[in-house]
Each structure stands twice: as C-alpha cells, then as structure tokens.
Structure 1
Amino acid sequence: MSVPKAFEPCKLVFGLLYLHRDVKARVLSALTELFGPLDAVSQPQDFTFTRFYEKEMGSGLLRLFGSFEELVDPVRLPEIKERTNLLEKQWANGKRRTINVDPGLLSEDRLVLATGKNAAHRIPLRDGIYADLTLLYREGAYRPLPWTYPDYAQEATRRFFGLLRGILTARRRGRAPRRSQSTKEMQL
C-alpha cells in the first residue's frame, strides 16, 4: 500500500512570449508582486517555432524563461495559472494578448506546465486547468516527450532548466543563496 506524503515544494518557473519590451518589463514586475523575487531569467530569443501566435500578437515575437526564488506547493498550480491568465487579460489590447505567460513547476524529476487546453497526455487539476507533463529528467538532463512544445524541447532551453534544477537542489539542501542570479539574464 502506498502511504500519501505531503508534496515537496517545486520551483515556480515561467515562459513569456511577447513583442514589446516595455510590456515584458511591466509583466515581470507584476509577476514579482504576485510570486516574489525572481532568481533567474534567460536572455530573450527569437520565437520561430510556430506562427500560431502571430495573428493575435504580431510577428517578431520573443521568448524568455525564468524562475522565482520561493518554492511553491504544487497544489497551487491552477491558482497560479488563473493569476497569470488575469495578467494576460490586463495587458491585452482589446481581445488580443500582448503577452503570453506560461507558468510551470520544476522538480528534480520533471517540468509540468499549466494549460487550459485539454489533450490526451494532460491531467485535469481543477476549474478547466490541466497539468502538461513537458520534460522528464533522465540520464543527467531534462528530456522532451513526443508532445513537448519545440521551444521547450530545444537543447538550450533544456540546459537552462538544468541550471534551474541545480538552484532547486541546492535550495533544498540549504546551500543556495537567495537571488543566485540576481535576476541577471542568463544565456540560453
């Protein structure tokens, strides 16, 4: 018989998809108000993986990833997604988003993103929010799955999440200084 235990806190991470740097800066500020200080942010990269968002958000989109200093209880993922959805609406231009915020939870074993879209591999959490198992940690690195989004599957992104895993592991062992990256942009 399995004996239920409390979940270990996870590293709250995010992906931002945006066109305008001023919106990015304001949303990063709003995110820190909601979830606390950032401890790492990647440098922006051109988002060339799909044209899906161009009709709504425009062309020349940029993608960056980051994480927060404080660890969170995994049961908060639906609430976090609801809050980031509200940010997207707050910064929308009419019905068109100017920013896409993808929150997720990083553990030593996996990266799980929150989404409102159902698919066979997604687990319902609550209120129309699903958990999307995006990356698995195997053989010393995060590995993509057949359904992993291409920008999360690329090697540079997975390396960035590997660095965040190191911060998480050190934090859990009580060795990581807070603000280990001082929100300095890290190279992907």
Structure 2
Amino acid sequence: MSDPVRGAGPLVKRIAGVLYPDSEAERFAWVLDEAKRLWGEPDLIGEPVPFTLTDYYRDIAPCLMRRFVCFRGLADAGGLADWKRAACALEARSRTPRAVNVDPGYVDGARLVLASTKDHAHRVWLRDGIYAEVTLRFRFGGWRSFDYTFPDFRGGCYDAFLTETRRLWLAETAHLRRGQGGARRSPE
C-alpha cells in the first residue's frame, strides 16, 4: 500500500529488535525510552528471549537477551535506512564500548525486513552504508525462513510477536483502504 500522504514507499509496521545484557533489564528500558523519542509509542513489546545461538555480539556481554518492539501507526518503508542510522547513533550513546544492539526493520503482510550495516549476497543496498534483508516471509499461514535466515529467527522464537505485528498491520491498512482513517501514521 503506497503512502497516501507523500506517495512514496509502502506503509509498514516499524519494529526494532534490541539485544542487551541479560543482567541489565534497565538497559532495555533505556533503549525503549530513546526509541520512543525517535519512533513514537509502542503498540507491542515482545517477551525477552535468550540470545544464545552465536557469540557475534560478545562485545556487548557474554549473555544477552533479545526483545522486539513494534511502534504505533504506519511508517513509510522508504525510511528504513534512516531508522538504521538512528539506531546506530542510539547504540553509540549506550556506552563505550556499546552496551546494546538495535536492529530496526518492518513487518507488512508478506515479510519481515531488517536493516543492516553489513553487506552480503542476500542483502540489497539502500544508501549511506545501509542494506535491507528480507529475513522471513509470511506464507501458508506462518513465518517461513530462507537459507540465510539467522538461526534464532528460523527457530520461530519471535513468530508470536511477528504475527501480532502483522495482524496490527492488516487492521490498520484495512482501515485506510476503507477510508475510515483508522490507521495512524507514526512520527517520522
């Protein structure tokens, strides 16, 4: 669905995955406050899930949790690169060395897209050093992975959160199509 205001990209539900030390729940609260300033109030906050399948983020802490946030309203998918740049700045403010990892992305009816600063064969260049990746697709009533999908996403531990986020997207875009104005645009 195109943005009715600017006619730019499709409208999506903006999300962010937050990795933080398992012993520092207050760190997640800090990130949530910072993210609210950037992207508005949350519609949905997922449960914390232990992040144990890789030690790639060991620079943050040896034991991590991942938690997702879905933000109110619909956002223009064309803003994904800006969201990632803002997330990188938020990470830099978290502490030196960084104390969190924030991965913004979006959900629509068909996919979960995440932004990355790392290039790879399955990622598409956006701009300013930012790439996009379709991490999961929604098909046959559930989330389906690709051969490159990260193991934690492939394992389904975030599926309930993503399904509820998709349901919110479906409801808000249905209101727009019916002209009821029920879909809220998120702050940019």
User: In the alignment, which residue of structure 1 is the partner of 2:39?
Assistant: 35
Runs of 4+ in structure 1 displaced over 4 angstroms? none
TM-score of the aligned structures, taking structure 2 as reference length: 0.86
User: In the alignment, which residue of structure 1 is the partner of 2:90?
Assistant: 87
Whether the 8 Å CA contact 1:141–1:159 is kept in 2: the answer is no
User: In the alignment, which residue of structure 2 is the partner of 1:47?
Assistant: 51
Give the C-alpha shift of residue 57 in structure 1: 1.1
Q: Larger deviation: 98-107 or 154-163?
A: 154-163
* Paired amino acid for 1:82: R
SS of 2:171's equivalent? helix
User: In the alignment, which residue of structure 1 is the partner of 2:18?
Assistant: 16
Question: Are residues 82 and 6 of structure 1, via their aligned partners in 2, closer, same or farther at CA, if it must alter by over 3 Å?
Answer: closer
Q: Deviations over 1:127-165 (max 9, x none)?
A: 110001101111011211111111222223123201110
Q: Larger deviation: 164-173 or 79-88?
A: 164-173
Whether the 8 Å CA contact 2:173–2:183 is kept in 1: the answer is no
Question: Are residues 90 and 6 of structure 1, via their aligned partners in 2, closer, same or farther at CA, if it must alter by over 3 Å?
Answer: closer
User: In the alignment, which residue of structure 1 is the partner of 2:4?
Assistant: none
SS of 1:130's equivalent? strand
TM-score of the aligned structures, taking structure 1 as reference length: 0.86
Distance across 2 between alignment mates of 1:31 and 1:70: 14
Q: Deviations over 1:85-109 (max 9, x none)?
A: 00000012x2x21000000011101
Distance across 1 between alignment mates of 2:16 and 2:133: 13
Give the C-alpha shift of residue 6 in structure 1: 4.5
* Paired amino acid for 2:142: A
User: In the alignment, which residue of structure 2 is the partner of 1:122?
Assistant: 123
Question: In the alignment, is residue 67 of structure 1 matched against residue 79 of structure 2?
Answer: no
Give the aligned length: 172
* Paired amino acid for 1:149: F
Any stretches of 5+ residues in structure 1 without a counterpart? 180-188
